[in-house]
């Protein structure tokens, strides 16, 4: 694992910040305020091209979820069947911003429920040697 | 508006057919539809059709005969059949042709679809990290819907069990083995809350329809079934659709809700008038959500409707009487036309072992797919 304070830039610059404080890069429409991820060059709601880059909130609540129980086909999946473990996937609602789709660090359906608090973390990316990707982990209620 | 009727039905059995190409299945379905209408290929004045993965539909003309017919190839994902039908319907209504043929077919390898991010405007990371799966998305969609509207997993299982009961009565279906609710629930978990038998599988098959307008409609059809409307829509901002790395906080009516409302309005009938319907059921949750999106019931009412058996063949509102995608599989280009094929059979009273018990005056179909397209039709006797 890289140093906690090491800067990162993953997935063509969509994930930045540091290992212990990653941030997703989205966009916000200056005309109507709609937030999108990944960043859009024009607004899907009002069609305005006046959009700005926005670093999204790092915490939110679980809006929906599932468990990916089978190995996705390759391509496009980069992981292999040999070391596959089921993983959680969900949409996490970032207050007043947008709902972001992500892998979840939790893969036990009994531990996941709609509305639970979540926080952004980095996890090993499937099939990559030392590479990282973003995910959401259950957050402490008192965090 | 000029009356347009479905005057010929043709189908090639769904399932797996080693050694038979998608185009060959399409030609077989087209010939069957022409025979059913009592006409020859040379009588067809306009044709449209397509597949997602099995070639160009107009290649069938080299099998059927080189008559010079204008033939439009359609490739529009899950709405391929609906788009072909929309095109043919518009040509007939415009008076550009008297008789048209539409054909949809496909042939997919086993296993889940593996779309590539680059073809959907997404970065390669989206597929590499394991987010680009249709099954995964639809599981998340129904998970949210169940929480908002009080739908149980038992209801999801009942949808699948009904599909296999109906498929067992359909000679062209792929899955013809009845499965109980308990067997559906006990099958392998694929994406919570959806188990293996709550999903359809990509498959193979072909369907063709002959349409005719005005006087030709009346003279050709023994039991005319009229295509009262075809409506096709794409997603609006706020609709919760597959292959979305993010979705906005605000919600909008789905493309299905808008297409269904337009189809009913054009036809001059309402959801309450529907006697039989075929809804896109690529997984159990889709049938549940589409029941309400089309207006056939209220959101949340599905739980009681399905638990009480109302959507079974002998119920008040029979849904997916041919077994739907769950029992027929999903050859993308063929599914939308299969729905129309089945509704016409039901309205004619020719559905044999699976003929609905109640009245058969108004039928409805709804096809839906990635990344948020829907086509709906209303058919009446």
Q: What is the pLDDT of residue A141?
A: 59
Contact B9, B32 (CB under 8 A): yes
- Residue-wise pLDDT tens digits, B159-191: 999 999 999 999 999 999 999 999 999 999 999
CA dihedral sign, ordered B89, B91, B96, B100: negative
B190 and A CB contact within 8 Å: yes
Using a CB-CB cut-off of 8 Å, the residues of chain A touching B284 are: none
Distance of residue B295 Cα from the nearest chain A Cα, in angstroms: 24
The beta-carbon neighbor of B189 closest among A34, A69, A78 is A69
Locate tokens 């090491």: which residue? A6
Decide if pLDDT at A2 tops 70. Answer: no
Looking at chain B, which residue has its C-alpha nearest residue A110?
Answer: B192
The mean pLDDT value for B43-53 works out to 95
- Please, are residues B122 and B245 in contact by the beta-carbon 8 Å criterion? yes
**CB-CB contact of B281 with B320 (8 Å):** yes
The rounded distance, in Å, linking the Cα atoms of B91 and B99 is: 10
Say if residue B123's pLDDT is above 50. Answer: yes
- The tens digit of pLDDT for each residue in B217-274 reads 888 878 889 999 999 999 999 999 999 999 999 999 999 999 999 999 999 999 999 9
The dihedrals phi and psi of B6, each to the nearest 5 degrees, come to -85, 115
Which pair of tokens denotes residue B15?
Answer: 């399932």
Q: How far, CA to CA in Å, does B54 sit from each of B24, B58, B59, B332?
A: 10, 12, 11, 10
Q: A47 CB contacts (<8 Å, ≥6 apart)?
A: none
- State yes or no: pLDDT of B295 exceeds 70: yes
DSSP code string of B224-270:
-EEEEEEEEEEPPTT---SS-SEE-SS----HHHHHHHHHHHHHT--
Q: Across chain B, how many H-helices and E-strands are there?
A: 13, 12
CB spacing of B244 vs A75 below 8 angstroms = no
Prior bond of A98 cis (ω within 30°):
no
Distance from CA of B140 to the nearest CA of A (A): 5
The distance in angstroms from the start CA to the end CA of chain A is: 24
pLDDT, tens digit, 9 for 90 and up, residues A107-137: 999 999 999 999 999 999 999 888 999 999 9
pLDDT averaged over every residue in chain B: 95
Q: What is the 3-state secondary structure (H, E, C) of chain A?
A: CCCCCCECCECCCCEEEECCEEEEEEEEECCCCCEECCCCCCCCCCCCCCEEEEECCCEEEEEEEEEECCCCCCCCCCCCCCCCCCEEEEEEEECCCEEEEEEECCCCHHHCCCCCEEEEEEEECCCCCCCEEEEEEECCCCC
Q: How far is CA B98 from CA B26, B101, B212, B285, in A?
A: 22, 11, 6, 40
R_g over Cα of chain B: 19
Question: What span, in angstroms and rounded, lies between the C-alpha atoms of B309 and A89?
Answer: 33
Beta-bridged to residue A22, according to DSSP, are A17
Residue contact A38–B245, C-beta within 8 A: yes
Percentage of chain B exceeding pLDDT 70:
100
- Which residues of A fall within a CB distance of 8 Å from B372? none
Mean pLDDT of B352-376: 94
Mean pLDDT (whole number) for B339-358: 96
Could you tell me the pLDDT band of residue B322, with boundaries at 50, 70 and 90?
A: very high
Q: Do B140 and A75 touch (CB under 8 A)?
A: no
Summarize the confidence of residues B303-323 as an average pLDDT. Answer: 98
- Overall average pLDDT of the B318-325 stretch: 98
B251 within 8 A of B238, measured Cβ to Cβ: yes
Mean pLDDT of A67-82: 95
First-to-last C-alpha distance (Å) of chain B = 16
CB contact under 8 A, A70 and B124: no
Residue A89 pLDDT > 70, yes or no? yes
Cross-chain residue pair B245–A89, CB shorter than 8 Å: no
Average pLDDT of span B44-73? 92
Question: Quick check: B366 and B277 in contact, CB under 8 A?
Answer: yes
User: What pLDDT shows up at residue A143?
Assistant: 45
What local confidence, expressed as pLDDT, does residue A1 receive?
A: 54
ipTM of the complex as predicted: 0.95
Please say if the pLDDT value at position A3 is more than 80: no
| Exposed / middle / buried, residue B347 (Cβ in 10 Å: 0-12, 13-18, 19+) | buried
Give, to the nearest 10 degrees, the angle between helix B332-348 and helix B80-93: 60
Has residue A142 got a pLDDT over 60?
A: no
CB spacing of A69 vs B191 below 8 angstroms? yes
């Amino acid at each position: 694992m890289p140093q906690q304070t090491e800067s990162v830039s993953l997935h063509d610059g969509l994930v930045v910040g540091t290992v212990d404080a990653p941030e997703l890069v989205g966009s916000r429409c200056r005309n109507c305020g709609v937030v999108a991820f990944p960043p859009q060059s024009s607004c899907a709601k009002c069609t305005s091209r006046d959009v700005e880059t926005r670093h999204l909130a790092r915490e939110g609540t679980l809006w929906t979820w599932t468990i990916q129980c089978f190995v996705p086909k390759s391509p496009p999946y980069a992981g292999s069947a040999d070391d596959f473990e089921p993983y959680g996937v969900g949409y996490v609602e970032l207050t007043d911003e947008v709902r972001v789709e992500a892998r979840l660090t939790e893969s036990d359906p009994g531990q996941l429920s709609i509305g639970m608090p979540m926080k952004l973390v980095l996890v090993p990316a499937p099939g990559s040697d030392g590479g990282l990707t973003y995910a959401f982990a259950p957050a402490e209620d008192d965090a | 508006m000029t009356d347009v009727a479905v005057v010929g039905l043709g189908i090639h059995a769904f399932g797996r057919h080693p050694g038979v190409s998608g185009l060959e299945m399409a030609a077989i379905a087209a010939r069957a539809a022409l025979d059913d209408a009592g006409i020859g290929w040379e009588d067809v004045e306009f044709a449209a059709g397509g597949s997602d993965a099995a070639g160009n539909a107009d290649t069938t003309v080299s099998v059927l005969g080189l008559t010079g017919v204008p033939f439009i190839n359609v490739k529009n994902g899950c709405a391929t059949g609906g788009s072909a039908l929309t095109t043919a319907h518009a040509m007939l209504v415009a008076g550009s042709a008297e008789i048209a043929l539409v054909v949809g077919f496909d042939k997919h390898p086993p296993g889940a679809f593996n779309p590539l991010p680059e073809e959907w405007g997404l970065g390669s990371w989206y597929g590499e990290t394991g987010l680009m799966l249709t099954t995964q998305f639809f599981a998340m969609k129904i998970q949210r819907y169940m929480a908002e509207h009080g739908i149980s997993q038992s209801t999801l299982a009942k949808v699948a069990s009904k599909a296999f009961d109906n498929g067992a009565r359909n000679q062209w279906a792929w899955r013809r083995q009845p499965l109980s609710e308990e067997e559906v629930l006990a099958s392998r978990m694929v994406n919570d809350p959806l188990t293996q038998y709550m999903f359809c599988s990509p498959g193979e098959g072909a369907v063709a329809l002959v349409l005719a307008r005005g006087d030709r409609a009346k003279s050709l059809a023994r039991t005319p079934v009229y295509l009262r409307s075809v409506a096709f829509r794409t997603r609006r901002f706020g609709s919760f659709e597959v292959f979305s790395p993010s979705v906005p906080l605000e919600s909008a009516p789905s493309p299905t809700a808008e297409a269904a409302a337009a189809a009913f309005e054009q036809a001059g009938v309402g959801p309450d008038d529907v006697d039989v319907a075929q809804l896109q059921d690529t997984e159990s949750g889709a049938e549940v959500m589409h029941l309400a999106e089309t207006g056939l019931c209220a959101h949340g009412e599905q739980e009681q409707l399905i638990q009480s058996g109302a959507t079974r063949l002998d119920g008040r509102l029979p849904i997916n009487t041919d077994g739907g995608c769950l029992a027929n599989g999903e050859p993308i280009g063929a599914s939308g036309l299969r729905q129309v094929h089945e509704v016409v059979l039901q309205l004619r009273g020719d559905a044999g072992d699976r003929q609905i018990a109640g009245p058969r005056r108004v039928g409805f179909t709804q096809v839906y797919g990635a990344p948020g397209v829907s086509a709906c039709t209303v058919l009446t006797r």
